[in-house]
Amino acid sequence: MSAMHHGAVMEGSWGSADKGAVNVADGEAALALLRAELQPGDVVLVKASNAAGLGALADALVSQGSQGGARP
């Protein structure tokens, strides 16, 4: 568990480690996890600095969602 993930779990903003808080290695791992877990009607907020490269994750999610009728 990374220090940032651990801090968020301890602070309470991400729930608890045993109730769904997940730390992934990179954007590709996050995309794979989200594709497996998201259900129709779910909302995802992708928040990071541009340097983290998560814009590609958001674009992939929007693209996937738009195929199912969702919109950004």
Per-residue pLDDT tens digits for 12-21: 655 555 556 6
Residue 32 has pLDDT above 90, yes or no: yes
Range of the domain at 12: 3-67
> Total structural domains in the chain?
1
Structural domain contains residue 48: yes
pLDDT for residue 39: 85
**Cβ distance 9 to 15 under 8 Å?**
yes
Structural domain contains residue 51: yes
Q: Which two three-digit tokens encode residue 70?
A: 């969702």
Structural domain contains residue 20: yes
Single pTM value for the model: 0.63
pLDDT for residue 60: 92
State the Cα–Cα distance between residues 9 and 33, nearest whole angstrom.
19
Structural domain contains residue 72: no
pLDDT for residue 47: 81
Per-residue pLDDT tens digits for 37-70: 888 888 888 888 888 888 999 999 888 775 555 5
Structural domain contains residue 29: yes
